[in-house]
């Protein structure tokens, strides 16, 4: 009888676990985030010709001054690294998604053939064939642009031969504006172009200066003829012929790849696993998304768990896991993906109470992304410095501290846990903080005394 009760109990517990996990099989929201379709070129043939003329003029001037790099006529073409990266200080897994490749089919309209003979490109009724790689920032293209998060980097060593900055960078449609761009000539005489960058977000280097592989060139923006922040990456060989850096059966421009490591045609991946205090909000161009990202929650708060994907592949599934501070798994479930989407996101919501550091973990096609967040204010006891006052709150220009203890360290962290300000003074107690340089928003202020006791509060900077 005892054994029977034991097995009944085990079965009952297992049933509870299954029911709990089934609660998470369907997301609370999300889906495809639609990318605007191109109906006009993001760089016209006329604009392209002007850039070629600008490069030729600058090359001639550099050559006349003896400042043009010597060409390596016996060498081969460069092998490019991927020209988009994440700026330091951010922690998304990936910040980009590819939308358009080069169109190899000269017929138009609606006759498209990319390097793999697919249709991930576009042409227009006036005879334009897309001639570059379009790489958007994702997730949150406008927020990333605002924060300078997604950046263009030099795909190979070279010398800057043309540069334009100062153009408006929040365009939402096609126009005749000149994009902000940089052109880099490589040692063999080939050239790579980086277009549509953020106004004022380009490198301080100018024409004639050298850049190294991986060096910052500019922030991804929406200058020129553009519907959202993206990089248009275009390549020409020594003789000025258009190159498709990706090799495939329908690439009739060149016979070998120009990538150091050519990416797959579809490149499904988790761009970010994020926790939010509410679902993200997307708006019409060019309004910045309200992302509601947070890594700090109070016990009992409703936490939104979101996963952001590029090239979501139909017929695959993603494993999702929420792990408690004691390293036991609260939920572990698989979510089936039934459609192909360029860019998508999905979210689930759950109330959590256990204080400490939790983990939100996603595993997709063998790659695991882990995101940590806290329940309870940074895991510290607010009563350790119970006689310490911090005011005013909300604050504007100044924050004042009154304490019986000597405060030797004050740290302000934003809702993503990044340090916005840190002040240290071991010779006297810190009693005043200048907030002029701090942007508006919510922060967590941690005070540390000389005896290493701490107090953390939420602060609103207005």
Read off the CATH number of the domain in which 212 is found.
2.70.70.10
**Residue range 242-253: mean pLDDT, rounded:** 97
Predicted pLDDT at 211? 98
pLDDT computed for residue 39 by the predictor: 81
Nearest 5 degrees, angle CA 177-CA 180-CA 182?
Answer: 135
Does residue 48 sit in helix, strand or coil?
A: helix
| pLDDT, position 379 | 41
**Mean pLDDT lowest among 79-88, 221-230, 448-457:** 448-457
Q: Do 236 and 323 fall within a single domain?
A: no
Query: For residue 461, what are its two tokens?
Result: 């900077």
Domain boundary among 375, 402, 419: 375
Widest pairwise Cα distance in the chain: 98
Half-sphere exposure of 445 (CA within 13 A, CB side): 27
Higher pLDDT, 227 or 427: 227
- Residue-wise pLDDT for 273-294, tens only, equals 999 999 999 999 999 999 999 9
CB-CB contact of 143 with 288 (8 Å):
yes
For position 419, what pLDDT does the model report? 83
Per-residue pLDDT, averaged over 16-24, amounts to: 46
* 63 and 208 housed in the same domain: yes
Tokens of 446: 């941690």
Indicate the number of domains in the chain: 3
Which of 320, 342, 375 finishes a domain?
A: 375
**Residue 252 domain-assigned (yes or no):** no
Q: Sorting pLDDT into bands at 50, 70 and 90, what band is 232?
A: very high
Quick one: 152 and 110 in the same domain?
yes
Residue of 416, 420, 442 whose CA lies nearest to 433: 420
pLDDT for residue 14: 36
- Structural domain includes residue 420: yes
H/E element, 54: helix 45-64
Considering the domain architecture, whether residues 227 and 306 belong to the same structural domain is answered as: no
pLDDT digits (tens, 9 = 90+) for 307-317: 999 999 999 99
Same domain, 75 and 148: yes
Decide which of 124 and 250 is more confident.
250
3-state helix, strand and coil shares in percent for the chain, rounded to the nearest 5? 10, 40, 50
User: pLDDT tens-digit profile of 347-357?
Assistant: 999 999 998 99
3-state class (DSSP) for residue 21: helix
Six token digits for residue 426: 């071991």
pLDDT tens digits, one per residue of 195-221: 999 999 999 999 999 999 999 999 999
* Cβ count near 292 (within 10 Å): 16
Q: Which of 270, 354, 376 is nearest to 320 (CA)?
A: 270
Examine the domain organization and report whether 195 and 113 are in the same domain. yes
* 136 contacts 156 by C-beta, under 8 angstroms: no
Phi and psi at residue 317, in whole multiples of 5°? -140, 155
27 in a structural domain: no
Same domain flag for 230 and 312: no
Q: Looking at the domain assignment, is residue 262 inside a domain? A: no
- Same-domain status, 416 and 345: no
Q: Which of 200, 227, 243 is the last residue of a domain?
A: 243
Q: Which helix (H) or strand (E) holds 133?
A: strand 133-137
How many Å apart are CA 119 and CA 320, to the nearest integer?
A: 32
How far apart are the C-alpha atoms of 420 and 444, rounded to whole Å? 10
Indicate if 172 and 67 belong to the same structural domain.
yes
Q: Is residue 126 scored above 90 in pLDDT?
A: no
Which pLDDT belongs to residue 458? 86
Which of the four pLDDT bands, split at 50, 70 and 90, describes residue 16?
very low
Mean pLDDT over each residue of the chain, to the nearest integer: 90
- The pLDDT value recorded for residue 112 is 94
Report the distance separating Cα 32 and Cα 37, nearest Å: 14
**At 369, which CATH number?**
2.60.40.1930
User: Do 99 and 237 share a domain, yes or no?
Assistant: yes
Q: Is the pLDDT at 61 greater than 50, yes or no?
A: yes
- Residue-number span of the structural domain to which 136 is assigned: 45-243
Note the pLDDT tens digit of each residue in 69-117: 998 888 899 999 999 999 998 999 999 999 999 999 998 888 999 999 9
Pick the closest to residue 304 from 380, 379, 371 (CA basis): 371
Has residue 149 got a pLDDT over 90?
yes
pLDDT band for 415, please (50, 70, 90 cuts).
Answer: confident
197 and 108 within one domain: yes
* 10 pLDDT higher than 80: no
Q: State percent of the chain over pLDDT 70.
A: 93
Question: What is the rounded distance in angstroms from the CA atom of residue 216 to the CA atom of residue 203?
Answer: 7
Q: Within a domain: residue 185?
A: yes
Contact of 291 with 277, CB cutoff 8 Å: no
Domain check: are 186 and 315 in the same one? no
**Quick check: is 34 in a domain?**
no
In a domain, 320, yes or no: yes
| pLDDT attached to residue 413 | 86
Give the model confidence (pLDDT) of 367-378 as tens digits.
999 999 999 855
Contact 297, 379 (CB under 8 A): no
CA–CA distances in Å: residue 15 to residues 2, 22, 27, 139, 349: 20, 10, 21, 37, 21
Check: CB of residue 279 under 8 Å from CB of residue 294: no
Q: Is residue 9 part of a domain?
A: no
């Amino acid at each position: 009888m005892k054994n029977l009760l034991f097995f009944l109990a085990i079965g009952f517990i297992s049933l509870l676990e299954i029911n709990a996990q089934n609660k998470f099989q369907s997301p609370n929201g999300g889906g495809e985030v639609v990318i605007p379709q191109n109906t006009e070129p993001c760089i016209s043939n006329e604009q392209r010709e002007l850039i070629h003329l600008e490069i030729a003029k600058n090359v001639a001037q550099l050559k006349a001054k003896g400042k043009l790099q010597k060409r390596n006529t016996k060498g081969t073409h460069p092998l490019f690294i991927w020209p988009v990266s994440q700026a330091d200080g951010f922690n998304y897994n990936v910040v980009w998604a590819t939308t358009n490749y080069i169109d190899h089919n000269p017929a138009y309209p609606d006759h498209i053939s990319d390097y793999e003979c697919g249709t991930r490109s576009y042409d227009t009724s006036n005879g334009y064939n897309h001639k570059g790689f379009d790489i958007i920032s994702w997730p949150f293209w406008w927020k990333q642009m605002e924060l300078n998060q997604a950046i263009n980097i030099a795909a190979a060593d070279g010398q800057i031969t043309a540069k334009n900055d100062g153009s408006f960078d929040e365009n939402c449609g096609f126009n005749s504006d000149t994009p902000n761009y940089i052109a880099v000539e490589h040692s063999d005489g080939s050239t790579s172009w980086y277009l549509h960058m953020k106004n004022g977000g380009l490198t301080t280097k100018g024409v004639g200066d050298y850049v190294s592989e991986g060096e910052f060139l500019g922030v991804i923006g929406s200058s020129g003829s553009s519907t959202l922040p993206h990089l248009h990456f275009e390549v020409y060989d020594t003789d000025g012929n258009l190159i498709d850096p990706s090799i495939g059966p329908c690439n009739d421009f060149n016979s070998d790849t120009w990538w150091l490591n050519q990416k797959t045609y579809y490149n499904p991946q988790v761009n970010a696993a994020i926790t939010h205090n509410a679902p993200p909000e997307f708006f019409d161009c060019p309004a910045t998304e309200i992302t509601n990202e947070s890594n700090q929650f109070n016990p009992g708060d409703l936490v939104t768990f979101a996963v952001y994907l590029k090239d979501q592949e139909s017929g695959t599934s993603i494993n999702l896991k929420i792990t408690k501070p004691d390293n036991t798994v609260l939920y572990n479930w698989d979510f089936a993906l039934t459609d192909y989407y360029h860019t998508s996101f999905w979210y689930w919501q759950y109330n959590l109470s256990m204080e400490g550091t939790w983990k939100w973990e996603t595993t997709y096609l063998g790659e695991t992304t882990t995101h940590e967040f806290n329940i309870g204010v940074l895991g510290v006891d607010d009563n350790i410095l119970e006689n310490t006052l911090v005011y005013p709150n909300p604050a504007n220009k100044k924050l004042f501290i009154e304490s019986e203890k000597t405060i030797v360290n004050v740290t302000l962290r934003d809702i993503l846990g990044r340090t916005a300000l840190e002040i240290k003074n071991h010779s006297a107690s810190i009693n005043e903080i200048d907030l002029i340089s701090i942007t508006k928003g919510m922060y967590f202020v941690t005070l540390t005394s000389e005896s290493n006791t701490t107090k953390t509060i939420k602060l609103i900077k207005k």
